[in-house]
Amino acid sequence: MQDQIQQIKDEYSKITRALSAPDAILDLQKMTELSKKQAEMAEIMQKIEELEKIDKHMHENAEIINTEQDLEMKQLAMDENISLSLQKSSAEKQLETLLLPKDPYDEKNIIVEIRAGAGGDESALFATNLFRMYSRYAEKNHWQIVLLNSNQNGLGGFKEVVFEINGKNVYAKMKYESGVHRVQRIPETEKNGRVHTSTATVAVLPEAEEFDFKIEEKDIRIDTFCSSGPGGQSVNTTKSAVRITYLPTGMIVSCQDEKSQMKNKDKAMKVLRSRLLQAEEEKRMKELGDQRKSQIGTGDRSEKIRTYNFPQDRITDHRVKLNWSNLHGILDGNLDLIIDALEEEDIKIKLAKL
């Protein structure tokens, strides 16, 4: 790691010199790029400087231990080096994490798609619970939620809900939520008090900008229709709802929540770009030998990433094989413990590969 540290220090010094040069202001684009790179490296440099200070202090203490005649001074230096050694180990692990390759999508906003899976009306009600959980989590992180499209059943559950979350490092936190979520509970409509198992699928897509994925006009067909509410009844008489079909693949995206046809079209295009970007990324990863499955499961009970067990007040994440109690608190948006555990496992796997 020492060679890597030296390369980083050299690069940081080179960037600093370039930004300080008298002619730097003449090339505004280059200056902006260098400033961004310097900001990205600042946290790494801070950790490197912290390690160097610890090493210097430990070396000074080693000198005292080897040359000092005063036994009390020797003991103090030895005790301090034990403490510094622990700090060094912690700082090295933190630096290793900072040096891991960054996910290029981590800083992006996201589009989340939640769909009812196995379980009929109960799965739609569970999809509503998941939507509320993510809404509350977004609120706690000062993120903004924008509803893009929704389709409810007669009980108020979501057959499908698509929404956008905007904020700082949204994808970095939310990317672990993709997969099949399973719930075990007694439905409100169950007279005999039997526990039912239902599922809902969650897909988290990094939001694609126009320059991320270019869509040609000749590749899409746009249809308009009257938006509908629960049970399929029309909720207005104008054709404000929009359905876009991506002709090369047959992918269909619909948006109807806005009263304006133009706004619905813009939202539908945003979802379409993000889905297509995700499909390209999955294709690329497969070509590289990554056997990662698609984010969106089939809604089948066997393809689960997490189980919400109401009778036992327990949530289990099957990827990290950990359990948490306070199910209602987690469904109220207190997801940090679960997401932190998933982040730690992700880092552990990446470090093991290195």
> Residues 90-112: pLDDT tens digits?
999 889 888 888 888 888 999 99
Question: Residue 102 is which amino acid?
Answer: K
- Whether 234 has a pLDDT exceeding 70, the answer reads no
- Whether 142 has a pLDDT exceeding 80, the answer reads yes
**Cβ 199 vs Cβ 186: under 8 Å:** no
233 confidence band (pLDDT: 50, 70, 90): very low
Choose between 294 and 12: higher pLDDT. Answer: 12
> Residues 170-184: pLDDT tens digits?
999 999 999 999 999
298 confidence band (pLDDT: 50, 70, 90): very low
The predicted pLDDT at position 229 comes to 58
The predicted pLDDT at position 11 comes to 94
Residue range 153-181: mean pLDDT, rounded: 91
309 confidence band (pLDDT: 50, 70, 90): very high
> Residues 238-271: pLDDT tens digits?
677 888 999 998 999 888 877 788 888 888 888 8
Closest among 211, 212, 339, 216 to 278, alpha carbons compared: 212
Distances (CA, A) of 82 to 63, 71, 75, 76: 15, 17, 11, 10
Closest among 334, 178, 326, 273 to 265, alpha carbons compared: 273
Choose between 22 and 311: higher pLDDT. Answer: 311
The predicted pLDDT at position 165 comes to 96
**Cβ 97 vs Cβ 43: under 8 Å:** no
The backbone region for 179, taken as left when phi is positive above 0, alpha when psi lies in -120 to 50, beta otherwise, is left
> Residues 58-88: pLDDT tens digits?
999 999 999 988 999 999 999 999 999 999 9
Strand 196-206 to strand 110-116: parallel, antiparallel, or no bridges (unpaired)? antiparallel
- Whether 125 has a pLDDT exceeding 90, the answer reads yes
- Whether 291 has a pLDDT exceeding 70, the answer reads no
Residue range 10-17: mean pLDDT, rounded: 93
Residue range 337-353: mean pLDDT, rounded: 88
* Lowest mean pLDDT, pick from 147-156, 190-199, 297-306, 336-345: 297-306
Q: Give all domains of the chain, ordered by start, each with its CATH number.
A: 2-99 (no CATH), 110-349 (3.30.70.1660)
* Cβ neighbours, 10 Å, residue 155: 14
- pTM beyond 0.95, yes or no: no
Q: What angle, 0 to 180 degrees and rounded to 10, lies between the N-to-C axes of helices 71-99 and 28-67?
A: 150
Strand partners, 227: none
Q: Over pLDDT 70: what percentage of the chain?
A: 90
Choose between 165 and 290: higher pLDDT. Answer: 165
Report the C-alpha gap between 113 and 4 in whole angstroms: 40
Choose between 341 and 188: higher pLDDT. Answer: 341
Q: What distance lies between CA 28 and its chain's CA centroid?
A: 32
Report the C-alpha gap between 120 and 100 in whole angstroms: 43
153 confidence band (pLDDT: 50, 70, 90): confident
Report the C-alpha gap between 177 and 305 in whole angstroms: 9
Length of the chain (residues)? 354
